[in-house]
């Protein structure tokens, strides 16, 4: 009976908070929490070990009640940080997630803002939506400043590995670099440069 109660408690317990950062995301009178949380899911592949999956959520309150909303996909591993964006946006949440291991692991990356009720994506990337399709071979992204051709706020540099049929799976054949900048309306990031460079062997 005690074991059953413990199992039930485990089943209904909320996500485990991995990290939590307070920031005023929506310009109201209080700060929201940007949290990375972990949930335990049954293993869909039939294994006995449950899967530990993570996502990013925002904790806010409305009418005196707190609520949480997920702002990233659910992945194996994810980090999040609060970044400064130009007025009137103020702050955004940059997340960097992956599923599985290895250089070509599927990635989930994004920059979202918080309206006080919901998240709004300025930019999102997942490997499955890559322009490379089946040639996808790993990706990473970061914020940077392009003083010459950038828009308001930081730019985003996405670097993707390009696979060539017949090549070993260890190493991308080439790297495709895509640059994104915030549009003048401040509503979305748009692609403004893309080039592919063959890697030296
Ligand atoms: Ca706020
Ligand atoms: Ca709020």
Find the 29 Cα to ligand 1 centroid distance in Å. 6
Kindly provide the b/e burial profile for residues 120-139, where b requires at least 16 CB atoms within 10 angstroms of the residue's own CB.
eebbebbbeebebeebbbbb
Find the 94 Cα to ligand 1 centroid distance in Å. 17
Find the 165 Cα to ligand 1 centroid distance in Å. 49
Q: List the structure tokens of 123.
A: 């930019």
Q: What are phi and psi of 128, to 5 degrees?
A: -70, -20
Nearest ligand to the C-alpha atom of residue 61: 2
Cα–Cα distance for residue pair 123/181, rounded to 1 Å: 10
What pLDDT does 201 receive? Answer: 62
Q: List the structure tokens of 116.
A: 């006080």
Q: What is the pLDDT of residues 144-175, one digit of tens each?
A: 999 999 999 999 999 999 998 887 767 889 99
**Mean of pLDDT values over 75-99:** 96
pTM (predicted TM-score): 0.88
The answer, yes or no, to whether residue 5 has pLDDT greater than 60, is no
**Cα distance from N-terminal residue to C-terminal residue, the chain:** 63
The answer, yes or no, to whether residue 10 has pLDDT greater than 70, is no
Nearest ligand to the C-alpha atom of residue 91: 1
For the chain, give the mean pLDDT: 90
Find the 171 Cα to ligand 1 centroid distance in Å. 44
Given a contact cutoff of 8 angstroms between Cβ atoms, the answer to whether 136 and 163 are in contact is: yes
**Mean of pLDDT values over 23-49:** 90
Find the 161 Cα to ligand 2 centroid distance in Å. 39
Nearest ligand to the C-alpha atom of residue 31: 1
């Amino acid at each position: 009976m005690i074991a059953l109660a413990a199992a039930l408690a485990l089943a209904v317990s909320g996500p485990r908070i991995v990290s939590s950062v307070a920031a005023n995301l929506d310009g109201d009178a209080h700060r929201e929490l940007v949290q990375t949380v972990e949930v335990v899911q049954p293993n869909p592949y039939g294994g006995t070990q449950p899967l530990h999956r993570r996502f990013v959520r925002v904790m806010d309150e409305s009418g005196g009640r707190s609520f949480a909303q997920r702002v990233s996909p659910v992945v194996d591993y994810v980090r999040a940080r609060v970044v400064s964006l130009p007025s009137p946006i103020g702050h955004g949440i940059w997340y960097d997630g992956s599923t599985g291991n290895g250089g070509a692991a599927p990635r989930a990356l994004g920059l979202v803002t918080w309206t006080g009720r919901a998240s709004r994506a300025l930019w999102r990337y997942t490997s499955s939506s890559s322009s490379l399709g089946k040639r996808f071979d790993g990706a990473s992204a970061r914020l940077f400043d392009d003083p010459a051709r950038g828009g308001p706020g930081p730019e985003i540099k996405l670097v993707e590995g390009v696979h060539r049929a017949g090549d070993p799976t260890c190493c991308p054949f080439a790297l495709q670099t895509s640059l994104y900048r915030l549009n003048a309306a401040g509503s979305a990031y748009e692609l403004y440069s893309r080039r592919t460079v063959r890697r030296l062997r």
